[in-house]
A and B are shown apart, each in its own frame.
Chain A
Amino acid sequence: MLRCLDNSGNFTGNCSDMTVLERQRMRMKWQQEQPCHENQSLYGDSALGEVVAKSMKPELGQLHFPSFGLGSSRFEAASAISATSMAGVEESRGTGSVPEKEKMSSACGKHSFKKRKSDKIHSSKVVAESENKEKKMKGGGEEGESKITEQNSNKNTTTNNSSSKDTCGGTSKGNSKASEVQKTDYIHVRARRGQATDSHSLAERVRREKISERMKYLQDLVPGCNKITGKAGMLDEIINYVQSLQRQVEFLSMKLAAVNPALDFNRDDLFSKEVFSTCGPSFATFGMGSDMNNPAYLQFNSGQQVPPPSIPETFLDSCCFPQILPSSTYESDLHKLISVGSDQPRAVSSSFLSQPFTGVVEASHPKMEM
């Protein structure tokens, strides 16, 4: 058992650069390969067995423990429990034993879960109705779990195994306060110590955690939000910021309309480099992106209406080259956000943040050539 834990710890330790999803999947695969009966060999406590039996009874109902409490039959009882629990859970779930097995074996690697508490939240996919089904199952075996925890505080792994058999993981344990999220069809959330474990509050908690995580990203994006905690204040700042940006757009469009009576922004002299060399310092404050040397753009063929597209690119290029202030706060915040986003794959937001941008470029190529 401990061996299994160690191995899982090492395994996950080596894959720190993989995504959280991949790590979890590999862990599951690895653990499923391990014979499940290993878990059963740890039932050395008769009291534990009794409690397990009690908690199992209301849930399954068809178990009989005639020889329970006897030393010799402990193993048989334990194996019976495990076998019937698997079967019973399968029946009631109707979704196959794979998630159940995963949970059983996931108990092995639970110590390593603590480290990745924040990462887990990112990689989850929520299926609301299945979640509720899940949680009802979990709610069933609550009472048994708390007893187990109290009795076997030193045999943590045993506790994990047994209680994970009872329920689907909605347990409160002394050592694991992390909420665990696996990328299967269901969201497995562990209730924290001293918190309610019914389906509604668990779903609520997942939702709340998601919201707070997104708020953190917004905090990085909106300048001056580091000191503010709490939703209302943050929202206030965000609203102010969005309003100010929108007003800026309005103002700038007015300015452009005033400056350029003919709306011809394609003039060559507008984009000529000498203009920018004279006004270098003013561009430095804009903090345009530093990595502009993308040769693909400069190779675009021009359309008839727009002068060589290299000019807009050189316009932007020359904007950034006189980088007296290498990066303004905006740009650095943006970079930070994007690097943050790439490190922690978020299932939903990754769908729109990690857009295949080259696809967009290629799509615009034919447009340019018309």
Chain B
Amino acid sequence: MRNPSSVKREFLRKWIKGLGKCRLLKNNMSFLERKKAIKLSADLAMASTRSGAARWSRALIAEASSPDDDGYNKILTEHIFGSPENQRPKGKVQSTTSSSSLCRSRRILKRSRLVRKVVKKKKKKIGSPKVMANWIAKRLVKKRTKMLKSLLPGGESMDDDVVLIEETLDYVQYLRAQVEVMRCLATASELTRNS
């Protein structure tokens, strides 16, 4: 079974390494750049700790290595992952990017179907209040599932509810570990600076 403390240790090690590489890449970064670098390296460290076994980690890496803004993210990611290419689940990364286009087309289909469904439901809605309440509840759940998908990295491509919840479980665990490690580091650096 996965050990939370060893996860944290792993994460910290990778994160510090990544940060070191960022520093090598560019000195005298501005505040925002630094923040970005920290967050990015933390995310990547988290994702690579997971070794691409979970979809969200693959999606995170894919997102980070896709060129956006001024390609800063991509450069950083490549720099962090660097030569040990075996770490980066390359094949999987490509699949997630292609799956994003796939899910875009799926979304369009869904929307067209949904419009028809809503119209039908409104006609039926004049039924009993029980039915209506049921329908409302289902709508609520659907809305929230959509929100969760938007929050979770790579969540858009998970149509199955079961998979979505499993990924959320995993992601929450890792987020927690990340927060704790970062908090520790922050306090430690503060204390060293003050003392």
A positions within 8 Å CB-CB of B? 207, 210-211, 214-215, 217-218, 221-222, 231-232, 235-236, 238-239, 241-243, 245-246, 248-250, 252-267, 269-271, 275-276, 278-279, 282-283, 286-292, 294, 297, 303, 305-306, 309, 312-313, 315-316, 319-320, 330-331, 334-335, 337-339, 341-342, 348-349, 351-355, 357, 360-361, 363-364, 366-368, 370
Contact = CB atoms under 8 A, between A and B. Distances in A.
B184 A306 contact: no
A239 B144 contact: yes
Interface of B: 1-10, 12-14, 16-17, 19-20, 22-23, 29, 31-32, 34-35, 37-39, 42, 49, 51, 53-54, 83-84, 87, 137, 140-141, 144-145, 147-148, 151-152, 161-162, 165-166, 168-173, 175-176, 178-180, 182-193, 195
Contact of B54 (A235, A250, A352, A357): A352
A249 B42 contact: yes
A330 B3 contact: no
A245 B168 CA distance: 12
B144 to A, nearest CB: 4
A257 B51 contact: no
Contacts of A255: 186
A239 B165 contact: no
Contact of A290 (B5, B12, B168): B5
Contact of B182 (A218, A256, A290, A316): A256
Across the A-B interface, the 4 shortest Cβ-Cβ residue pairs = A289-B5, A257-B34, A235-B144, A214-B165
For chain B, what secondary structure do more than half of its interface residues adopt (helix, strand, loop), or is it mixed?
A: helix
A210 B162 contact: yes
Contacts of B170: 352-353
Contact of A306 (B20, B51, B151, B168): B20
A9 B30 CA distance: 69
Nearest to A252: B182
Nearest to A217: B169
A288 B180 contact: yes
A279 B188 CA distance: 9
